[in-house]
Chain A
Amino acid sequence: MHGTATASQVILGLSPLVVSLTVFVLTYAAIVTEKINRSIVALLGAGLMIFSGVLNQSEAVAGIDFNTISLLTGMMVLVAITQKSGVFQYVAIVVAKWVKAEPWGLLVMLSVITAVFSALLDNVTTVLLIVPVALLITDSLRVSAYPYLFSIIFASNIGGTSTLIGDPPNIMIGSAVGLTFTDFVVNLGPIAAIVFALTLIPLYLIWGRKMRATPEDRAQVMAFNAEEAITDTRLLKQSLTVIGLVIAGFVMAHHIGQEPGTIAMFGAAFLLLLRALGKDAEEQSHETHRTWGEVEWVTIFFFVGLFVVVAGVEKAGALDLLAGKLLEWTGGDFPTTAITILWASAIFSAVVDNIPFVATMIPVIQKMGAVFSPEQLSTLWWSLALGACLGGNGSLVGASANLVVAGFAERAGQPIRFLPFMLLAFPLMLASIAVSSVYLYLRYL
């Protein structure tokens, strides 16, 4: 049963606004401190929203965006299967050989493939697959891995900005608002490409122009045999075909009247079927178990809990208040609101997880629909997406992929320290937001 929570339904007769905001603030504070796994915190917060009477169970379930959940889960299954084929290593070696293993060309090409893969797959998976090859190549060339790892971080966040499925904030925004895969590519693709190209300039000035490798070391990389990286040709064909069809499905989703979540889940089920064909029951069971085991359930249940927590504060009217306050600050001026959302999202996302921020901002911006036209509202979505995705470059904790790369760097004996990274990354991130402001201004404002 859906309805407004009244004071009598809420525990001890307290105000739903006070209770929901308390749960919300406690949940976010616990997420920020990272003392307890974020999925546990989010689910506890969700439970408190229900037990305290702010939401009932059916309202909580209705608050979960299952399109986002299925899109994330489906893509995770597809990637878990595909990565076993060695295709990502194959591509990395091929591009390294294209540029004749020349260090700067290699940095550019590894960044390009990271950006492209991040646009089509999740960023964490992309860097998990690209970084080990990058480390092997830099090891063979006897050049420092740091510039490569730095640019891989930037490329993954910039690439992820450009599509509906590239980064969780975009998945959430696209799903909540009904923006299509094509909408994202058309509106965010150009600015992502511009920011990517511009980011390479300071990287060249700082590192690129000094990069050198001996002809002998380059010859060693040129001797790599890309075909040997492919571990299973049949798996490669199957998984690339299904991923290709799923991406085509995303592009067509609007026209065929389907949601991306359904397409990703169906694709995942279809690829699981292809992998199961011709295997006996025990083998099928083993392989299917293994694949499902590779889904990042921590992320999935973090989303589930967070959606319920945000549904709680939304129902209690807190987000109406926040939307009202935001409009009050910006004076209801559309360009000021768009630029404020862009910069606030970027700075916020640089220091804390952008997922809870975006989950909260989506209903806030939806409520601004009362003041702004639908076209203006869509510009606000691009502001939010650009800020939240590019903001992730601002610090090591800005995005999960950054931490994964830092983990690899640590294990490789070339650690990326928090402050030195931020000293370069934060100004570069601010520059990318300045460029995005100009883009938004010229295109939409």
Chain B
Amino acid sequence: MTIRSIPCFPPSIELRLESSLLDALKLMLEKHINHLPLCDENGRFTGIVSTQSILSELIPVSARMEHGLADLKFAGDATRLLCSHLHGLEHRTVGELAEKHMPVLDEDCPLLEAALLLSQNTSPLPVIGKDGRLRGMLSRRTLLAYIVQQAGV
């Protein structure tokens, strides 16, 4: 049994690595997803961008860096600061934050191997076809739903 028969989330056709981060965020919010797969004009996988990496960009760099501030309770809600950082995303590209080096699943990957890799990664993993094109993303939820269906429970 391979993962070929499991439906996976299709890659974005509108967004490239050069697209604005703000556009990527809007798309993810609109589609209710946390990870957006990206490919180039030939359909090859180029990376994924996540709400987690975008959210962390909104946090002041002084709290994100090594030896930085351990907590930000004293800074209050700082809505203005978060909004100002959000506006900054408009001029930054998806490529700056995209995770490009991650495990990928071959579309003929056995189910068990896919289950192992997904259990070890926090994000969905890209599924690559024999022609090298990105088929989409396979999430833990989709895989679990498939196993539940197979088990008939």
A-side interface residues toward B, CB under 8 Å? 89, 93, 128, 131-133, 135-136, 139-140, 142, 216-217, 220, 223-229, 231, 408, 411-413
Q: Given A132-B68, A142-B84, A217-B80, do A229 and B74 touch, yes or no (CB 8 Å)?
A: yes
User: Can you list 23 pairs linking A and B with CB atoms under 8 Å apart?
Assistant: A132-B68, A132-B69, A135-B61, A136-B62, A136-B69, A139-B60, A139-B61, A139-B62, A139-B81, A140-B75, A140-B81, A142-B84, A220-B78, A220-B80, A223-B76, A225-B74, A225-B76, A229-B73, A231-B70, A408-B67, A411-B65, A412-B61, A412-B62
Report chain B residues within 8 Å CB of A229.
73-74
Instruction: Please give, as numbers and ranges, the residues of chain B lying within 8 Å of A135 by CB-CB distance.
Output: 60-62
Please report the C-alpha to C-alpha distance between residue A379 and residue B62 in the assembled complex, in whole angstroms: 43
> A413: which B residues are within 8 A, CB to CB?
61
Interface string of B66-108 (1 = CB under 8 A from A): 1111111111101011001000000000000000000000000
Residues in B lying within 8 Å of A, measured CB to CB: 60-63, 65-76, 78, 80-81, 84
A228/B74 contact (C-beta < 8 A), A411-B61, A412-B65 known: yes
Q: Is the CB of B67 within 8 A of A128?
A: yes
B62 adjacent to A133 (CB under 8 Å): yes
Q: CB-CB < 8 A to A132: which residues of B?
A: 62-63, 65, 67-69
The chain B residue with its CB closest to the CB of A214 is B80
- Closest B residue, CB atoms, query A137: B62
B73 with A228: CB separation less than 8 A: yes
Is B74's CB under 8 angstroms from A226's CB?
A: yes
CB-nearest residue of chain A to B80? A220
Interface of B is mostly: loop
User: Separation in Å of the B87 CB from the closest CB of chain A?
Assistant: 11
**A226–B73 alpha-carbon span in the complex (Å):** 9
In the bound complex, CA of A160 to CA of B103 (Å):
50
Would you give the shortest CB distance from B68 to chain A, in whole angstroms?
A: 5
| List of A residues within 8 angstroms of B66 by Cβ | 411
Residue of A nearest to B65 (CB): A411
Q: What is the distance, in angstroms, from A129's C-beta to the closest C-beta of chain B?
A: 9
Kindly list chain B residues whose C-beta atoms are within 8 Å of the C-beta of A408: 65, 67
User: Which residues of chain A have C-beta atoms less than 8 A from B76's C-beta?
Assistant: 223-225
Residues in chain B near residue A216, CB distance under 8 A: 80
Nearest-CB distance from A241 to chain B (Å)?
23
Q: Smallest distance from the beta carbon of B1 to chain A beta carbons, Å?
A: 46
Q: What are the 5 tightest A-B residue pairs by CB atom distance, in nearest-first order?
A: A228-B74, A135-B62, A229-B74, A411-B65, A136-B62
Residues of B within 8 A of A89 (CB): 69, 74
**Most interface-central of B70, B72, B80 (chain A CB within 10 A):** B80
Contact B74 A93 (CB under 8 A): yes
Tell me the smallest distance from the CB of B72 to a CB of chain A, in Å: 8
A132-B68, A135-B61, A136-B62 are contacts. A224–B80 as well, Cβ < 8 Å?
A: no
Query: Within the assembled complex, what's the spacing in Å between the Cα atoms of A216 and B69?
Result: 23
Give A132 to B80 CA distance when docked, in angstroms: 19
A135 to B73 CA separation, bound complex (whole angstroms):
16
Add 7 more A-B contacts to A136-B75, A139-B62 (CB < 8 A): A132-B63, A132-B68, A132-B69, A136-B62, A139-B61, A140-B60, A220-B78
Per the bound structure, the CA–CA distance linking A140 and B80 in Å amounts to 8
Q: Which residues of B contact A217 (CB under 8 A)?
A: 80
Residues on A with C-beta less than 8 A from B65 are 132, 408, 411-412
Bound-complex Cα distance A139 to B78 (A): 11
Residues of A within 8 Å of B75, CB to CB, are 136, 140, 224
Bound-state CA distance A408–B65 (Å) is: 8
Q: Name B72's closest neighbour in chain A (CB-CB).
A: A136
- Pair A136/B80 contact, Cβ less than 8 Å: no
**A254 CB → nearest B CB, Å:** 36
Name the residue on A nearest B67 (C-beta): A128
Name which of B67, B71, B76, B84 has the most chain A CB atoms within 10 A of its CB: B67
Chain A residues with CB below 8 A from B74, complex form: 89, 93, 224-229
Of residues A136, A225, A413, which shows the largest number of chain B Cβ atoms within 10 Å of its Cβ? A136
Q: Which residues of B contact A133 (CB under 8 A)?
A: 62, 69
Inside 8 A of A131's CB, which chain B residues have their CB? 62
A142: chain B residues within 8 A (beta carbon): 84
| Chain A residues within an 8 Å CB radius of B84 | 142
Q: In the assembly, what is the distance between CA of A69 and CA of B119, in Å?
A: 50
How far in angstroms is the closest Cβ of chain B from A418? 21
